[in-house]
Amino acid sequence: LLNIGEETIALDKAIESGDTDLVFYVLLNLKKKTQLSSFFRTINSRPVATAIVEASAMDQDKELLKDLYYQDDRRLDGSNLLLSEALDASDLGPSTDKLKMAAKLLRDSKEYAPQVTALEEAQKLLRFQEAFEKDLDDRFVGLSVNQTMSKLIRAGHAKRAQKVQSEFKVSEKTYWWTRLRALVSKRDWRELEDLSKVRKSPIGWEPFFNEIIGAGNTKVAALFIPKCTALTSAERVEMWVKCGMIAKAGEEALKAKNRDALEELRTQASGQAQLEIDRMISQLQKGR
């Protein structure tokens, strides 16, 4: 059939056979012998053929795939392909151009407004990152918004991180989590001590205790225990114990008049701390 110019019939026969290799072979011949617009019209009514062309082009011929998406008015697929190419681009210029083209494909349709916004945000982030790379002589392109803020904070550029937060409308909670983890990663204990003097935290104070003690600094972690007022007294007692501050744990139990907790703490105490716990137990007994 191919030899006598009956490519369309040959394609239908190949599809009926269920042999994808045969279908692919016929498609290759069809593409060579017809104009691209005619080729697309032929496969458009044959889903199996379209799927095989799409799968093959994804690996071997991205330009053909773009033409296919354009011909079928598959704007979102075309935009996603350009986005993929933008992410793979090693240079900033081509990456930005691909993002612009991806947004342009979708801009005429209200249906894709969220995707257009995301693509425009990606372009803006690239511009910020390019400026950071020039000013700070460090690599930023390819990082997410949160990763960019984290890297800036770790490098001591908190004001730039706040600018990113403002420009990309990052919530206070997300920013504080990013800031906390960046400072702990940097082991910036002085900055964390300063934060312990702040009145309010949008993420509460327990995360500060958990992140800092996880990094092994019991002294700084302990600064945040009195601020964890939303927790129970028993939970704060446990936090003091984790910091190795048995006497402080005792003071917490004493405030709550928790004799059982004091007795338990006495078994864990030694030296001066044990004497302190004994004094607290005695004080609680006299209070009765």
What pLDDT does residue 90 have?
64
For residue 243, the SS3 value is coil
CA dihedral 189, 191, 195, 196 (to 10 degrees): 30
| Total domains, the chain | 2
Query: Which of 21, 42, 73 is the last residue before a domain boundary?
Result: 73
Q: From CA 152, how far away is CA 98, in angstroms rounded?
A: 26
**Domain-embedded: residue 274:** yes
**Domain-embedded: residue 276:** yes
- Across the 288 residues of the chain, what is the mean pLDDT of every consecutive 10-residue run? 60 81 80 80 82 80 83 84 78 81 84 87 92 93 94 97 97 98 98 96 97 98 97 97 97 95 94 94 82
Query: Which of 50, 73, 96 is the last residue before a domain boundary?
Result: 73
Per-residue pLDDT tens over the stretch 197-246: 999 999 999 999 999 999 999 999 999 999 999 999 999 999 999 999 99
What pLDDT does residue 238 have?
97
What pLDDT does residue 177 have?
98
For residue 141, the SS3 value is coil
Structural domain boundaries, residue 258 = 231-288
What pLDDT does residue 288 have?
56
**Domain-embedded: residue 34:** yes
Q: From CA 61, how far away is CA 55, in angstroms rounded?
A: 10
Query: Which of 53, 73, 93 is the last residue before a domain boundary?
Result: 73
What pLDDT does residue 107 have?
85
* Contact call for residues 240 and 246 (beta carbons, < 8 A): yes
Per-residue pLDDT tens over the stretch 250-269: 999 999 999 999 999 999 99
**Domain-embedded: residue 134:** no
**Domain-embedded: residue 269:** yes
* Contact call for residues 262 and 282 (beta carbons, < 8 A): no
